[in-house]
Structure formats: C-alpha cells, structure tokens
A and B are shown apart, each in its own frame.
Chain A
C-alpha cells in the first residue's frame, strides 16, 4: 500500500510542516485517515497529504478547518488528567501523615534478595 507523508499547520499563518506518515490506498482515504491519526488531539489547524516520493507534486489539503479538527464535543475523557497536581497532593498527604506520626517519605526498604538487602561483610 502506498505511503503518504502527512503535513500540518499549528497556527493558521504557519507553513505546512511534515508531521508523519500513513499508509492508504488512495488520496481520499489518505485524507480521511490523516485527520484522525495526526490531528485528533487538536495538534493543528490545517492538514495535507502527499504521496511519499512525489516531492515535486502539490500537497492535497484536507477540507476540515482548525475548529473541526480534534472534535467539538467534550473530549476530556480522552485525556489523562488524573496526574495533574499529583506532586502537591503527595506533599499534602505526607504532611498529614507526619502530623499523625507516620513517615511515608522514607525510601522504600530494599526488596529481599536485592544487592541492597545484603548485609555488608563486617
């Protein structure tokens, strides 16, 4: 199956930049697939494909604009946001445990059998 280079613009005034490649049987399918493989997380405002090797040929520009790339409905469930603010939460929990007399900020004891667990020769 032919390989297509995929190009994108981050901002409307940018030039098209190479962002990756896909396999597709023809230009229509290449454009359909390029949109979701490379722009589904709002990575750009315009996209285009060109068959790899056809460096002199013009780009085939996709018809969907920036506001439609990456969707319009609530996609928060696609993003992993649970790690945001984890450091601060950990510090807060440590402080609370410390107040209660529990230390959780010490390094973990070495696992049995690990070199660190061996008692050095006297």
Chain B
C-alpha cells in the first residue's frame, strides 16, 4: 500500500475511472445502436481523461515520480486500487447500464465531497470532473428510466438482474481507504466513505422505490471472492471480503454492519482483473519507455 494516504485516495479515484473506462470502451462497435455506440465510447474516453488528470495531480503534488502512462499501465496488478465493480466484464447491456448508474451516482457523491477538499489541486480537478460527470449521470438516468419504465418487460427484468448483481460490489466503491482517518482529520477527504455510503444508499433507495425496483436492494448478490493478484508476497487476508448489508428502516434504505477483509482499495481483486490488466498493459510492457 502507498505510504502517503493521499496517494491511496487519488489512485482509488483514478483507477476506478481508468478501469471502468477500459470496460466501457469494450462496447465500441457493439453497443445496441450506432448513436449509443458513439455516446458510450465518448463516456469511456471521458473516464480515461479523468484518470489521466488525476495521475498528473498525484505527480505534480510530489506523491510519485511516475508519469501518467507509468501510473496507468506500468504498475503490477496488486498496486491498482480500483473497486472490483469497475473490473467486472460488461455482461449484457442491462448489467452495463446498471453498473454505470450505480457507479456514476456513487461517484457523484464523492466528487462533490472532494470539491471541498483541503488538498487544493484535487479539489480543482474535482470541479472540472464534476461538470463532465453530470452528463454521464444524465445518460445513466435516461437509460434507467427507459429500461425500468419502458414498454419492454424483458428489458426491465434484465436491468433488475444487472442491479442485483452489481449492488453489492457498488457498495464496495465506499470501502474504507488505507489511512482514511488521517485523510478525514486533515480535511483531505471531508467526509468518510461510510458517511458517503449512507447518503448514496438513501438516494438510491428513493430512486429504486419510485420504479418499484427497491426489491433488488434486499436481494442483492454478495461480492465475489478476491483472488491473489500479485507474486504471493503480499500477506493473504484470512477474512473473506464482505460489505455491509442493506436494510430499510424508518422509511429509508441504509447500510448495516461493516466492511470485513480487503477488497479493491487494498489492491485485492477478483479473477476478472488479471486478464483485463494483461490486455490493457500488453503494449506498454512489450515496449518499455516507447514514445509516439
């Protein structure tokens, strides 16, 4: 794990965008229709641009001497701190849209919170990112309405299945960071991940109830098993990675229980990460230091 908790924070943010951007880009040429193909590819590019911007902030703030290419493509798998949600294969369009909706609504909360960070360079970057993420959220909400309320029952069912699969891992977007207490006390992270998780679940619950889809919250799947991604030198956690449960209390959806074990924020990933990493970094590893 990085020594400076600020590096854990910015890598978590940037790696989420990079890895999800990579998955989104795999729809290019395959999206349901050509207009969507363009829009979704464009969103993929936005996410990668955000990752690049954040990697540069990390370097310019003196947290690393690696440039954006070296950070994006030159790290061993266990140094990536993205949430497992972002690395999962795209599945069908129902899962893809469900994941985009869950991720972008969760991301919106932390982007807004970090806009008030005491780390000036990060706060400035968040202000720019927030303007672009607004469009991603619009895209996700429009598809949410289309699939949840549209005339097709099959579409609604597949969307609901996607939500059920993704929600557990979406909760883990808010897995506590290494050194989080220090980040919170210094105002770098103005609110804790647990605090933000509470806000997100409340809002998500309302949106799902409005479409009578809130049953997916109670029924959501567990997070998958984390597998070793490194050389074996990292100590293997004895506790399986689990996320808090979700309950409805006093008319509001909220989390119950705590995170256990280690997930993406500690560099622990699912079986889907290594193949993604191998493909994404193949060219960089084959030609170290190449420029064009």
Interface residues of A (CB under 8 A from B): 1, 22-26, 28-29, 32-33, 35-37, 40, 64, 68, 71-75, 77-78
Contacts and interface: CB of A to CB of B under 8 A. Distances in A.
B276 to A, nearest CB: 21
Interface residues of B, number: 26
Closest 6 CB pairs between A and B?
Answer: A36-B39, A73-B49, A33-B35, A36-B42, A22-B35, A32-B142
A23 B50 CA distance: 29
A78 B48 CA distance: 12
A16 to B, nearest CB: 20
A77 B52 CA distance: 12
B36 interface: yes
Contacts of B135: 35, 64, 68
Interface string B13-46: 0000000000000000000010110110011011
A78 B45 contact: yes
A23 B128 contact: no
Contacts of B132: 68, 71-73
B36 A33 contact: yes
Judged by DSSP, the binding face of B is helix
A29 B53 contact: no
A53 B46 CA distance: 34
A49 to B, nearest CB: 11
A32 B50 contact: no
Contacts of B42: 36, 40
